[in-house]
A and B are shown apart, each in its own frame.
Chain A
Amino acid sequence: GENVEQHPSTLSVQEGDSAVIKCTYSDSASNYFPWYKQELGKRPQLIIDIRSNVGEKKDQRIAVTLNKTAKHFSLHITETQPEDSAVYFCAANNQARQLTFGSGTQLTVLP
């Protein structure tokens, strides 16, 4: 089955700096890669997703890049703000459309 590895598990950055979270996946048939943000005590919410027919997607301060050959994808957050502090999860689908999630990254933005 699909295996998704996520690094780092914790990440601290100064406000205004950039943050990068990386994930690798194992199933070459995966074609959908969402990123979810989960604030403390709240439900996971989709912040950006990318499909395998594109290599990069941006939405304001957030971007995701996908390298299908290497089977890895990354989340980039620029100009980080305290409200970006949360746990971020990457995920990838398998052929049955089931999502497998990474283990999560606790991002802390220091003021």
Chain B
Amino acid sequence: KAGVTQTPRYLIKTRGQQVTLSCSPISGHRSVSWYQQTPGQGLQFLFEYFSETQRNKGNFPGRFSGRQFSNSRSEMNVSTLELGDSALYLCASSLLGDRVNEQFFGPGTRLTVL
């Protein structure tokens, strides 16, 4: 099975711009979660999507949004970029069952805001 893929791998944007990141989960996985990883804050949960619906949301401002398509692919969008948004953005997919299952991470998108 192919692993989780993310595009693009690297992005450079300037303050005020917006950006869209994409995540393709492992085939058959319907749950996709997004995380922001920074050196000082570790892995911070952004949101989770399942069946095109946002199931959980972390403590991030409304500038961060996402969506999921019928094929389980997910996108996240960050509007009005700030310098502090520079980070590695990871998505993870998992099977959804009666209990929590392993999350498989993608390679991440490295976003640099200048």
Contact = CB atoms under 8 A, between A and B. Distances in A.
B1 to A, nearest CB: 15
Contacts of A46: 102-104
DSSP majority for the B interface?
A: strand
Among A32, A43, A51, A96, find the residue whose CB has the most chain B CB atoms closer than 10 A: A43
Nearest to B59: A1
B100 interface: yes
A104 B58 CA distance: 19
A104 B42 CA distance: 7
A104 B44 CA distance: 12
Contacts of B64: none
A33 to B, nearest CB: 10
Given A98-B48, A104-B42, A44 B102 contact: no
Contacts of A49: 102
Contacts of B42: 89, 101-104
Contacts of A61: none
B105 interface: yes
Interface residues of A, number: 22
Contacts of A32: 99-100
Contacts of A104: 42-43
Interface string A79-111: 000000000010001001111111110000000
A32 B35 CA distance: 18
A17 to B, nearest CB: 25
Interface of A: 31-32, 34, 36, 42-46, 49, 51, 89, 93, 96-104
28 contacts: A32-B99, A32-B100, A34-B102, A42-B107, A43-B90, A43-B105, A43-B108, A44-B43, A44-B90, A46-B102, A46-B103, A49-B102, A89-B43, A97-B56, A97-B100, A98-B33, A98-B45, A98-B48, A99-B33, A99-B45, A99-B103, A101-B35, A101-B42, A101-B45, A102-B42, A103-B41, A103-B42, A104-B42
